[in-house]
A and B are shown apart, each in its own frame.
Chain A
Amino acid sequence: MICNAPEKKIARTQSRPALARERARIARELLADCRLCAHDCGVNRLAGETGLCHATAEARFFLAQTEVSDELELIPTFAVALSGCDMRCDFCITGKESWNPRAGLGFSAAEIAERAKAALADGAKTIMLLGGEPTIHLPAALEFVSHLPADAKLVWKTNAHGSAQARELLDGIFDVWLADFKFGNNACAQRLAKTPDYVRVVRDNLLWANGHSELIVRHLLLPGHVECCWRPVAAWLAENLPDVKVNLRSGFWPAWQASRHAELRHTVSVLETQRAGDIADEFGLPLIP
Chain B
Amino acid sequence: MKKRTDELNTELLILPDGRILVQNLTQPMAEVLRQLNPRDQVIAPRAAKNTKRSS
Contacts and interface: CB of A to CB of B under 8 A. Distances in A.
Interface of A: 61-69, 72, 75-76, 78-79, 93-94, 104-105, 115, 118-119, 121-124, 251, 253, 267, 289
B55 A253 contact: no
B49 A65 contact: no
Contacts of A75: 46, 49
B52 A123 contact: yes
Given A69-B25, A267-B15, A122 B9 contact: no
B46 A66 contact: no
Which of A66, A94, A105, A121 counts the most chain B CB atoms within 10 A? A66
Interface string B22-50: 11111100100000000000100111011
Interface of B: 3, 5-6, 8-9, 11, 13, 15, 19, 21-27, 30, 42, 45-47, 49-55
Given A75-B46, A123-B50, A253-B13, A66 B24 contact: no
B5 A61 contact: yes
Nearest to B4: A105
Given A72-B45, A76-B27, A251-B22, A66 B13 contact: no
Contacts of A123: 50-52
B47 to A, nearest CB: 8
Given A66-B27, A68-B25, A68-B49, 11 more contacts: A62-B3, A63-B5, A64-B6, A66-B55, A69-B24, A72-B45, A122-B51, A122-B52, A122-B53, A253-B13, A289-B42
A64 B5 contact: yes
A62 to B, nearest CB: 6
A105 B4 CA distance: 9
A65 B52 contact: no
A63 B26 contact: no
A115 to B, nearest CB: 7
Contacts of A94: 23
A251 B33 CA distance: 16
Contacts of A253: 13, 21
A63 B24 contact: yes
Contacts of B9: 63, 65
Contacts of A66: 26-27, 51, 54-55
Nearest to A80: B5
